[in-house]
Structure 1
Amino acid sequence: MKALIVDDEFNVRDVIRHLGQWETHGITKLLEAKNGHEAKSLIEKERPEIIFTDVKMPGMGGIELIEWLDSISYPGKVIFITGYNDYSYMRKAIQHSSFDYLLKPIEYEAFNHTLEKSVQAWKVDFEHAEVLEDVKKLRRNQLATAICLGDRSDSISLAEFLPESEGYMLTLLSFYQMHNPDFYIQKLSDDLTDRKLGYAFSLKTDLNLCLV
């Protein structure tokens, strides 16, 4: 797991860096940014699960950062760290789904308790998301199989998983004599999705068949 510290003061970042029991709670990479703009670039590149951010920073502050995170439905946990004991900041944080709110000066026990809670909460959310994605994937594959068998009644639902287009070209791939092609089908599907070209469906009638 990765954690990101966002604060314009080096001393504050240094304190947090040495304060956190990072490895104990599964954090293997610690990132730092001086403001919201730097944080956005790091978040897009590194995808940290846990984010600690100051409220007031030059250029782009913590409120603007969490508003952006909320707008893209970012799954990470965000904790505000600030010296401003102001209800308006707390209200903004709550509105944009921040996980917690810590006041400076930061206390060792309070900080690590919040770190532990945020990591556990992220793990629970991640497990739920994995289960939900498995259900969605099964539904997509069932729809594709039904269409291949001649049932076009729910073809519009299948189109919801595809990029917008006036038409689609279909290809049937056979993973001949391969024991378990699921891994390769998923890699193909991920690549097509990332490039907004299409999707790869594993057919339920024959696990070695893939509809692209």
Structure 2
Amino acid sequence: MPTGVHIRDVREQLFAAAERVLLREGPNALTSRAVTTEAGCAKGVLHRHFPDFDAFLAELVLDRIRRIDAQAADLRASAGTGTVAGNLTEALAAVFDSVAVSIVPLVTFRDELRARIREARPAGGVPVLGDAAAMVAGYLAAERDLGRIVATTDIDTLAPTLIGAGHLLFADRDTPPPDIDALRKVVTTVIAGAGSR
């Protein structure tokens, strides 16, 4: 790999390269060499920007969580518009894009990575999935406040149930992701007891 060539937005290029490796080959193939080869840069570039590979992976996951945080604000803002099932279906489809689905096993099986993420975000639960559940819970609370779901709805149970059901639909890397109608059917079934409009 050439050295001495300035790379613009190095972190973003390395994150994008890691995501491509994850999508193509899965979490087991994600190494510093695979990332830098995919990014078309020398291996030392990664280590100039991150103390070690687990620090890089932690930043990759935290970047993904920040995207969920941004999505959460948009989802909360949609409360009172459209339908609850429609808003949740769109949100879950975005959360469970193929990169997020690939990141979950990476976090689950790398203890050092999980520890670093918890230092930065001590929220508990499985990173990415727990953040997605918090996003859904915030939205459901806003809809409850507007009277669009039953006031007695157990949001703390309903939100992770939606995330778990959604994750099961998307988790198989060997089959194409479900179509939007299959996801909508799951969402509609899970929230049926909430009396949503």
TM-score band by shorter chain is 0.3 to 0.5
Larger proportion of strand = 1
